[in-house]
Amino acid sequence: MGRGHRRRLVCAGKKGGADIGYGRKGNGTTIMVMVEGEGTPLSAFTTDAATSEVQSIEPLVDERLTRRKPKRLLYDKAADADWLRESLAVRGILLICPHRENRTRPPANDGRVLRRYKRRYKVERSLSWLYNFRRLITRWEYYPELFQSFVHLACLLTILKGF
């Protein structure tokens, strides 16, 4: 290699890997986390960014670490789907999320349960704790199993930080 080729990649290849899809912010991976009342992670997994978040909520509830299922599930407007509300209600879980502005069906709740929605900042706070780990911000791993293991490790470290 001569002087002009010092900074070029010798084996340039396509970047990416498995479990990466095109989402609203470009190519990437979505981290889904379910936390308890104070922000302790109970369940976490990754999907490609092209997968809808609504499709990922039921597997998130199924992969929890505790035997006890949650009574209520707080989520943002992305989970405003009647089929999801009914599916979780069969399991005994109340889905608390505000309605979208373009909703054509009548409201599913009268607004009283949305008083609990003001505590959603605890979920966002725990996500920001996870994003303090640089390895999760930029996905360096090619294999999705490695990236998901780093997500679980970051969840474990945030739990241990509380002790």
What are 28-48's pLDDT values in tens digits?
Answer: 888 899 998 888 899 998 988
**Whether the predicted pLDDT of 77 surpasses 80:** yes
Alpha carbon separation from 85 to 82, 95, 126, 159 (Å, rounded): 5, 6, 24, 30
Number of other residues whose CB lies within 10 A of the CB of residue 127? 14
Average pLDDT across the chain, whole number: 83
First to last CA, the chain: 54
The model's pLDDT over 84-122, given as tens digits with 9 standing for 90+, comes to 999 999 999 998 888 888 888 887 777 777 888 888 888
Domains of the chain (ranges, CATH numbers): 16-161 (3.30.420.10)
**Rounded mean pLDDT of 4-8?**
53
pTM for the predicted model, two decimal places: 0.78
